[in-house]
Structure 1
Amino acid sequence: MIKNKNIICFAGEDWWYHNPHSVHHIMKQFSKYNKVMFVNSLGIRFPSLKESSTFIRLFNKLKSLSRWAKWAQMNLLILSPIIVPLYKYNVIRKINKYVLLFQIKLAMKLFRFRDPILYIILPTAADVIGHLGEQAVIYHCVDKFGAYDGVPDAIRDMEQQLIKKADLILYPNRKLFEERRALSTRSRHFSHGVDYEHFALAMNGKKTVPADIKDIKGPVIGYFGAIEYFIDQELLAYIAEKEPDWSFVFIGKVNVDVSRLEKFKNIHFLGKKNYDDLPAYAKAFDVCIIPRITDHDFESHRSPIKLREYLSTGRPVVSVSFTEVNDLDDIVYVAEDKVEFHQKLQIAVNEKDERKRNQRLARVKNETWESRAEKISALIVESSNKTIENIPTELEENVA
């Protein structure tokens, strides 16, 4: 692990009100031996007033901004900068650049950050490169941002700029990595890790199942994560109708119209829960599911963290087919359409083979965020020496 470094992370989430994403876990690991400034999300577009969650998001953002700079724990400073995410306007983009740089440099001076490593998740941080005296620039590209609905062309331009300037580019999604590896010899495929010990608590006999799920009739088909446009409601309605004696439980904030699903008595939306409570809810699951749409360009290039979180609970997992899950098709029930999804669910619900559970656990047990941070650390050392092109290809294979 790198030690005694200053790291400035431009995250794709807000530390204070989002459940942890990948970079949250990685920065917690880095902060054990380094000083980290976690810059809350700069956003990639201004939220639409038509979206039901916009006002709640704005309220949460204002609460974060009121803290501006605050230590979350030892060596981990959270900075909530003030910017306006209207990147399609060049004037506002230039203003954002200088306002952001002023805030970052002020925080660097106040909290003694020098010669930092920049660890960037969103391309909207590209404009600060070259202005902070950085040792190295790492781009951890978790999504195909240019394919996100409503994103201006400026985001694509900023990402191209970022790819050119980055000393190391990490792609959790293999499909996106394969499409872009020719753009830079410094690109690497690097799968997500998992908080294994946390989610394995779902197998703890002493763990108490929460009251709002305890009395829901089994078998329970469970999902946790935001309920967004990418949830395949047609698929879920099809199976809920086919299996009226199964219960479908969704743990997460509902950000889209789900009236089509709410008419089913066996579909339950329990709302967003604290990250710490997810294993207790997962304990009530008989099967975990990933029911995503697959014909959207943005969604087809994502790599959901929940896949390895599910596997760490020991529960069978049924998923639609996409690149990252297909790499694990020996331990995940993968379906190509709604009929096959139903068939695979029937098999998973009746799974009694302890060996399969142990196989799932064995696969992810060592894929912790700590191990991922160690390997990223090794790559950062190489990238800071400008020799990333010479890293043995075996490293890429070992972490894929």
Structure 2
Amino acid sequence: MSARYDVIVASHLRWSFVWQRPQQVLSRIARRHRVLFIEEPIFPAQGDPQPFSPLQQACHNVWVLAPRVAAPERPGTPVWQDRASISLQVLEAMRTLQIGRRALWFYTPLPEFLLEVVRPDIVVYDVMDELANFKFAPPELKEQEARLLRRADVVFTGGASLYEAKQAFNPNTHLFASGVDTAHYSLACRPDTKVPAFVDDLPAPRAVYIGVIDERLDYPLIAHAAAARPHVQFLMVGPVVKVDPADLPKAPNLHYVGQQQYQDLPRILKGCDLCLMPFARNEATRFISPTKTLEYMATHRPIVSTPIRDVERFYSDIVYLASGPEEFVRQMDAALNESASERARRNVREERILAEHAWDAIAANMERIMDQAFDARLARIRPPVVAPTARYAPATARIATEA
């Protein structure tokens, strides 16, 4: 087993945001390693006397730091721009937690200056999205990512398309596609799970999308589906990010209910008849491998999706795929009228897929690879063994081998 070490994480997502890959993986990594999760900096409220953010313990062995920085004078200034202030706060957090040997784990390349601040033993980059293709991405992001990919001791990717795009940069790149907490989401199948009133009060059938509502969704398609099937209630569950809420399609049967607690998602899903992935086909979705595909599968509700590459490659036999608004509506109809035999076939295949994608197994394998990289780095920095005398050679050689 590798020597104990702490894990410092630089993330573009907040720990309290939608519960997804970073939280699923790191909450499991935290069973053996302390985790310091550094979020994007925040601007303190006017008159706030506290210059630095206090550390907040989010769960077992996970501490969250959101560095506080002065509001920029010019709009559009990168949030990680105040390097001096952020560095001081990170170092103070490391001192408070008495961080020892450490890995620095990136979810975004933007705070690459933390390499000099943290001085990690190893560097990990978990690529969960093609961030450079997202709306408002800074132009320097592609170059920063290329440097980080080459610098990292370990690279993980969240989907097959991302793996194919990144493996050329680093030979120690590993594919760990989306996982699922089946025990959690399968609560949607239990008779004693209570459906929330805001879902139960809507007439059936009900179709649901759960996730971030941003530039990756196909809003003309959503508007068309709601208009074409007015008897279907469409629930859009999640925070609205990087799009103006005023620009979202509106209809009497289209309901935006905001971000919901992770523990309530199976309750919402139980009350729905159909799961949707109405993604647009654009640069922001070119490399995505939606975690919600498996989460939906765990509820055994039929899924209708646009042909996102990784979904089409791996799940086209059990996901209803549609490449345009009219076909999307036709596939919704087919899914809602699915035969009992087709449902049984789909459920068997879903169970096999779910068994292969447990978050526990994914996190354990990521940790194993990280441990190997850490051990390899320690072996390189150990002082050389002094040549023994003949009298003590066997014992000394044995000790050196076991160290």
Give the alignment's TM-score, normalised by structure 1: 0.83
Task: From 345, 351, 364, give the equivalent of 1:361.
Answer: 351
The CA distance in 2 between the partners of 1:272 and 1:350, in whole Å, is 30
Task: From 272, 277, 285, give the equivalent of 2:264.
Answer: 277
Worse-matched range after superposition: 302-311 or 152-161: 152-161
TM superposition shift of 1:205: 0.6
Aligned to 1:5: 5
Alignment of 1:93-112 (within 5 A): 96-112=82-98
Aligned to 2:143: 157
Alignment partner of 1:75 is 2:77? no
The CA distance in 2 between the partners of 1:244 and 1:72, in whole Å, is 42
Alpha-carbon distance change, 238 to 69 in structure 1, aligned in 2, over 3 angstroms: same
The CA distance in 1 between the partners of 2:95 and 2:144, in whole Å, is 27
Alignment of 1:1-80 (within 5 A): 4-15=4-15, 17-42=16-41, 67-80=53-66
TM superposition shift of 1:312: 1.2
Worse-matched range after superposition: 353-362 or 224-233: 353-362
Alignment of 1:219-230 (within 5 A): 219-230=205-216
Query: Alpha carbon RMSD of aligned pairs, Å?
Result: 2.9
TM superposition shift of 1:116: 0.5
TM superposition shift of 1:386: 5.1
TM superposition shift of 1:6: 0.8
TM superposition shift of 1:305: 1.7
TM superposition shift of 1:201: 0.7
Deviations 1:24-50 (A, max 9, x none): 11111011111111112359xxxxxxx
Worse-matched range after superposition: 129-138 or 270-279: 129-138
Identity of aligned residues (%): 23
Aligned to 1:233: 219
AA in 1 matched with 2:355: K
Aligned to 1:350: 337
AA in 1 matched with 2:173: S
TM superposition shift of 1:66: 7.3
Asked if the contact 1:31–1:75 (Cα under 8 Å) also holds between the matched residues in 2, the reply is: yes
The CA distance in 1 between the partners of 2:90 and 2:12, in whole Å, is 16
Aligned to 1:203: 189
TM superposition shift of 1:194: 1.4
The CA distance in 2 between the partners of 1:58 and 1:108, in whole Å, is 21
Deviations 1:238-285 (A, max 9, x none): 2222222222111123453466632x2222222221111111000011
Deviations 1:166-193 (A, max 9, x none): 0111111322321232222122222021
AA in 1 matched with 2:38: V
Alpha-carbon distance change, 243 to 334 in structure 1, aligned in 2, over 3 angstroms: same
Alignment of 1:199-348 (within 5 A): 199-255=185-241, 256-257=244-245, 261-262=249-250, 264-294=251-281, 296-326=282-312, 327-348=314-335
Give runs of ≥4 in structure 1 deviating > 4 Å.
Answer: 64-67, 83-86, 91-95
AA in 2 matched with 1:112: Q
Asked if the contact 2:53–2:68 (Cα under 8 Å) also holds between the matched residues in 1, the reply is: no
Count of residues in correspondence between the two structures: 366
The CA distance in 2 between the partners of 1:93 and 1:324, in whole Å, is 31
Give the alignment's TM-score, normalised by structure 2: 0.82
Q: Say which SS state the counterpart of residue 253 (structure 1) adopts.
A: coil
TM superposition shift of 1:92: 8.1
Runs (5+) with no aligned partner, structure 2 = 378-403
Deviations 1:62-116 (A, max 9, x none): 9x99753122233211112234797x99x98996333322222221111111121
Q: Say which SS state the counterpart of residue 156 (structure 1) adopts.
A: helix
Q: Which of the two has higher C-alpha Rg?
A: 2
Alpha-carbon distance change, 213 to 92 in structure 1, aligned in 2, over 3 angstroms: closer
